[in-house]
Chains A and B, each alone.
Chain A
Amino acid sequence: MRESLISEQNELDSVIKILPKSVFLSLIKTENPILPKISEIRLRVGGACSVTVCAENLYLCSDGAKKEPQNLISVTQSDIDSFLRDFCAGSVYAYESTIKNGYVSIGGIRVGICGAAAEKNGAMNGFSEITSINIRIPHHIFGCSDGLFAELSQSDVGKEGILIVSPPGAGKTTMLRDIAIKISRKASAHPPFRTVIIDERREIFTEKFFFGCFADVLSGVSKELGIECAVRVMSPEIIICDEIGSKAEAGIISDANISGITFIASIHGKNVHDVFAKPWIKKLFDDGVFSYVYVLSRKTDGIVGKLTKILPESEKNNA
């Protein structure tokens, strides 16, 4: 299953094949315009199974995905366990470290896990019972970063740090992936940059999209360790990472930036004010690590963003 997920043209097809029977039957009865746009499939023991299509939640019913809860399908504990086993190619234990963090990610498909968590020494230590899963299907939107590159001045591409801000599910990871593909390839406006992607949850890098790119990936490792390793051994010009937020991560980014590395990262938030509410993130702007904020919002036909240049505190005072 692992190998077939990576080589499958359509990730949705590869997941549908191993879903519980009731879910499979419901999905194949779903109308064609909806089916390819499914971004999430949620299975819940004792609850309603649903799919998310363009930010809208639909019930999984016996006759397909519907807006109204009629003839809802159900799944059992055994269905979810069986799906996870098939997803992990019969080796669930091999993903113990990520399961302890509540997810499994293979071939770009991330399965979020919920249930009765086991705790050890104050940290999550896996699950004694898994009662719901959220299967996130990646949909890459080629060219979604065109708007960003159009607004950036040519001299700033690859030189000035960009922080992408958006609420969950609005397309941060998709945007980062598209930026990584563009920036590590030769274009008329800029040369290819040596790019390292710190892919902690194995969601950004998909081999088939990065053909011809000067991109290296460090996956399944924390951002702190990944950045430190990348700086030491890969001499990157640009580092791309997803969902920064902690003080430790901000610290390591700041240190790496001193070496002349440009950062393109994402963070949860609705707007610039949300971002600046965290003093250690504001400090990154004051220190010049990031110069731009790109706030995303998801529309039915794609991702849109608004680019704002943020001057460091010192330049604001001089102005």
Chain B
Amino acid sequence: MTDPTPALSARRPSRRLGRQGLVQLLLLALLLALPVAADLTGHPYYVTLASRLTLIAMAAVGLNLALGYGGMISFGHAAYFGLGGYVAGIGAFHAFDMTPFLGGIPGSDNLLVLWPIAMLACGLLALAIGAVSLRTSGVYFIMITLAFAQMVYYFANSWPTYGGQDGLPIYLRNQLPGLDTQEPLTFFLICFVGLVLAMALTSRLMGSRFGAALTMARLNDTRLATAGISPTPIRLVAFVISAMITGLAGALYADLNGFVSPSMLSWHLSGELMVIVILGGVGRLYGPLVGAALFIGMETLLGGLTEYWQLFLGLTLLGVVLFARQGVMGWLAGREPHA
């Protein structure tokens, strides 16, 4: 055989828009249609709920890159979610107060300024945490990422300038030129675009050479090293990108709530993000969205009936772990095709 591509592409056409493609399209359409319908019928509460779902999903998309695609079980992604939130909060605080940050940097309420700063800050934090944590693996990696996140949590708790444990309010949502971010549907659409871009980036990354190396680092790092590619730098870069996505979601989340507090940094949130990724399907592109929808759905529907709604979340998680190793996304869309 001289041209090898036909053999490889034989399965491709059906995959272009097979069952998985349909399910994915349907999920996105639902996520877009429900808040638009809620807005038209005058239920802004549901628009805000959809924004929340979208941002939690986006944070989990970030975690999924490290946990799902990279096999790095980070129990500390709240650190990046919260740091992103604090960047939005601190920027707004200084812009509102007309005071400089750290004695020199002016505050800003422009999202086009705040977002890159949030991502940069999270990237740098993840670079430092990852460089140390990736010297370990398995349970030690889980524990060390948790320990670092807890350090950030206690730091925020004890920094009185920005509210300490009471948190920091954002009185006016940060601004995006030409758009009214106070408008719930406009803000939802910003979040929606963010989520779609994060998923598109993940998909593109995982199809690239970098993605091939990251996949091999997860499946068999001896094979990767034997081929001449050191696994650790590959993992570290994935960890940093993962943190930046989660951090951007955190910045948006603080603006959505008009409030940022250490609870955005707490290990509960790290755990919830992990639960969402596992529920939806580890290493599945749409897994985080499905997981977040389940999580927020159960919280909203069952949380109104009983404060023990997490019992049902736990049971669902148990079911998924025992019976659907590819998560709910695997159950909806079938096994992930490789190639």
A and B interact: no
Using a CB–CB cutoff of 8 Å, the interface residues on chain A facing chain B are none
Q: Which residues of B contact A (CB under 8 A)?
A: none
